[in-house]
Amino acid sequence: MVTGIVMAAGLSRRMGVNKLLMCIDNTPLIKRTLKIIEASKLEKLIVVYSDPAVLEVIREYEGEKEEGEASPREIKPVYNPHPEKGQSESVKTGMYESHPKSRGYMFFVADQPFLKPEVIDRIVDTFMEQPEHIVVPTYQGNRGMPILFPGKYRLDLLGVSGDKGGRSIIDENQDQTIFLPIEDPKVGEDMDTIEDYEKICEIDAERRG
């Protein structure tokens, strides 16, 4: 089993508002992210949050699923009381709530609106073929998300600090890392500024026709 961990506890300092509550095509970004992940092969999903409003959106989405409008997969929200400590705090919070015997841990950012279920599945399939290796997608040669770590790195992930998250583990284990090229560079787009948001809304509208 591969456990998905969504890091949704960021402070959105550059946005001034919680970007995960901003809508793209009338859907809050966090809900859009969850729907994308739930269309993939992942069986277990943990969402690390800090804003109660994000939890409310997750609960609403879970309510829709109970009505048969989405995948029946369970989402486990986990509260991060110290988001100011950086991304590593979300990594550790998610890891503490995950099963210690998971084959792998796949980390997602919550602001990657053009991520595709088939990209997630490709990362998982690559990992299953070489389960001792970290799998990192690349977009036009640049490292991106989501990243899948084998279970053997559990203690390393529990020991990360600061805002680097698991990047230090990758840097120290490049001979055990598969860098997987993803053809569509838009899949790697994230949202850190109002300008990013406006650009993403334009691209989304174009893609929907």
Residue 59 carries which DSSP code?
H
130: its two tokens: 């070489």
Contact indicator for 145, 107 with CB cutoff of 8 Å: yes
Tell me the mean pLDDT in the region 13-34: 90
The whole-number pLDDT of residue 117 equals: 96
Q: The tokens 């998982």 sit on which residue?
A: 124
Q: The tokens 């998971």 sit on which residue?
A: 102
169: its two tokens: 């583990």
Of the candidates 23, 5, 51, the one whose C-alpha atom is nearest the C-alpha of residue 191 is 23
Question: Could you report the per-residue pLDDT of 27-76, keeping only the tens digit for each?
Answer: 999 999 999 999 999 989 999 999 999 999 999 998 887 665 555 577 99
Spatial neighbors of 70 by CB under 8 A, at least 6 apart, are: 35, 38, 61, 64
**Helix, strand, or coil here: 75?**
strand
User: Quick one: pLDDT band at residue 139, thresholds 50, 70, 90?
Assistant: very high
Distance from C-alpha of 168 to C-alpha of 134, rounded to nearest angstrom: 12
Share of the chain above pLDDT 70, in %: 94
Name the CATH topology of 2-208: Spore Coat Polysaccharide Biosynthesis Protein SpsA; Chain A (3.90.550)
Based on its alpha-carbon atoms, the radius of gyration of the chain, rounded to whole angstroms, reads 16
Question: Could you report the per-residue pLDDT of 163-203, keeping only the tens digit for each?
Answer: 777 889 999 999 999 999 999 888 888 888 899 999 999 99
Contact indicator for 113, 198 with CB cutoff of 8 Å: no
User: Quick one: pLDDT band at residue 162, thresholds 50, 70, 90?
Assistant: confident
Report pTM. 0.93
Strands of the chain, DSSP E? 2-8, 23-24, 27-28, 44-49, 75-79, 104-109, 134-139, 142-143, 147-150, 177-182
Of the candidates 54, 53, 37, the one whose C-alpha atom is nearest the C-alpha of residue 45 is 37
Distance from C-alpha of 118 to C-alpha of 24, rounded to nearest angstrom: 21
Tell me the mean pLDDT in the region 130-134: 97
Residue 84 pLDDT exceeds 70? yes
Of the candidates 91, 120, 111, 145, the one whose C-alpha atom is nearest the C-alpha of residue 30 is 111
The whole-number pLDDT of residue 72 equals: 54
Spatial neighbors of 81 by CB under 8 A, at least 6 apart, are: 50
CA angle 162, 163, 168 (to 5 degrees): 85
